[in-house]
Every structure is written in structure tokens, then in C-alpha cells.
Amino acid sequence: MKPLIAICSQDADFYLLLSHILEADGFVTTLANSIEDVLALACDKPVQAVLLDCRPDNQLAAQSTGLKRDALVGTLPCVALVHASAEAQHIQLLRSGIDECFVRPFAPAKLLQYLRSRLAIGQPPGSASQNSRPLIYADVEMRIDTHRVRCAGKEIPLGPIEFKLLRHMLENPEKVLSRDELIGVAWAKSRGVGARTVDVHISQLRKLLMRCSRGAAIRTVRLAGYALARRP
């Protein structure tokens, strides 16, 4: 079955153009006029990714927080299309945890490549089974294919940024990871992300592990970065 992409846009001509590009590459699309429409669509149809047509004259960036907090849609890849001069929208989208931003004008091939990568389209057969194997450290277990994390047997909610950070830590347990490395993992194509932003998200992740995990913790290494380590 072809992957279904929900395009949230208030511009019919833009939707038709983007829909044509996606469908020519093997996707199918559906139109949503608002964040509320996206949430309703996801309940009725097997939506696999969401594209937000963010513009200075609409409120999609400001409302994106509600999208990522939704239990169903929040686990899907969510991509924002923004204008280069819309700095306020960039900040809103970063805070809401949107997975990726593409600045207009952008090459459609990059968007298609991103979607194929996130949805594991065209990957070798072994890569799907690799994503189905959980990442485990102490009593923390992460399943990449379902975007679920459990600590001490109990499922815990994670935002997309914290999920990316924890995934990289689980893939590199006990290794000291610099802030620059973590920025590359969680904010690969976002500009203006600094060390302070990393510290804030790591602090949130650390507090969550302190509450939920009996065996894992995040260790701060002065002047070097952070490491996932066993609790003393």
C-alpha cells in the first residue's frame, strides 16, 4: 500500500502542485485545512506523515504544538515548509518538536528523500528488521519501528527531540557525546540551535529517567558533554 501523506495547507494550488510531486514518487496525499483536520484524518485514515505549509499569514506554526502532543499524530514524521525570513515561525516549530523544516525555496528531491528515509521506503530488506529490534540499556527499552519507550516495564511519553537524543544515547551507551554531536542528531538542518537548547532538552530527559528508570541515568561530563550511564 502506498504511504499516505497529509498535507496541511490553505492554498489549493500549492496542494495540487505538492500532491503531484509526491504522487509521482509513489505516495498518496490527502488535504487538511487545519491542525484539527489533520488530527481528525489520522483517526480515520492510515496517515504516515504530515506536511505543514507554514506561511506568515497562517497560524500553523503556532498551532503545531498541539499536533506533536497528540498521542497518535505526535509519533508520525512531521515536516514544516517555511519561509527563510520567518524567524518567529522557526522558533515556534523548534519548540513544538517538529521533526524537520524545509526552507523555501527547497528542492523537492530533498523532501522526497527525507520521507523515503523516515518511512523506510526503498531500503534493503534487512533494514526493516533492524528497526524492529529494540535498543536496550539497563531497564530502558526503545522500539524504533513503533516510537515507543519503556522504563522498568512502564511506557513513557517522549517528544520527538527527546526521542532522537535518547535513541542516539542508546546506540552509544556510556560514550561521552558532545553537544555539537547531539545537535547534529536532533536538529540536523536547523540553524541557530546552541548548547543551551541541548542542555534544556537533556535536562528534561534526565528528569524523566530519574523518575522512571531504576538502572539508567544521564551523566554530565564537564566541558565534554553527556553520557548514558548506569545508576550507581
Q: For the residues 180-200, what does the mean pLDDT come to? A: 85
pLDDT of residue 50: 94
Residue 132 has pLDDT above 70, yes or no: no
**Is there a single domain that holds both residue 61 and residue 152?**
no
CATH number at 196 reads 1.10.10.10
Residue 230 has pLDDT above 60, yes or no: yes
Q: How far apart are CA 6 and CA 54, in angstroms?
A: 14
Per-residue confidence band for 158, with pLDDT thresholds at 50, 70 and 90: confident
Q: Which amino acid is at 53?
A: D
Q: Which of 9-23, 46-60, 139-153, 178-192 has the highest mean pLDDT?
A: 9-23
pLDDT of residue 118: 81
Per-residue confidence band for 52, with pLDDT thresholds at 50, 70 and 90: very high
Q: What is the pTM of this model?
A: 0.56
Domain boundary among 88, 118, 148: 118
Residue 13 has pLDDT above 70, yes or no: yes
Q: What radius of gyration do the chain's Cα atoms show?
A: 18
Q: Which amino acid is at 44?
A: D
Is residue 126 packed enough to be buried (19+ CB in 10 Å), middle (13-18) or exposed (0-12)?
exposed
Q: What percent of the chain has pLDDT over 70?
A: 94
SS3 140: strand
**Is there a single domain that holds both residue 67 and residue 136?**
no
Domain boundary among 118, 149, 168: 118
Q: How far apart are CA 212 and CA 155, in angstroms?
A: 9
Enclosing domain of residue 60 = 4-118
Residue 82: C-alpha distances to residues 22, 89, 109, 214 (Å): 18, 8, 17, 42
Q: Which of 19-33, 46-60, 89-103 has the highest mean pLDDT?
A: 19-33
CATH number at 26 reads 3.40.50.2300
**Is there a single domain that holds both residue 153 and residue 91?**
no
Half-sphere exposure of 181 (CA within 13 A, CB side): 13
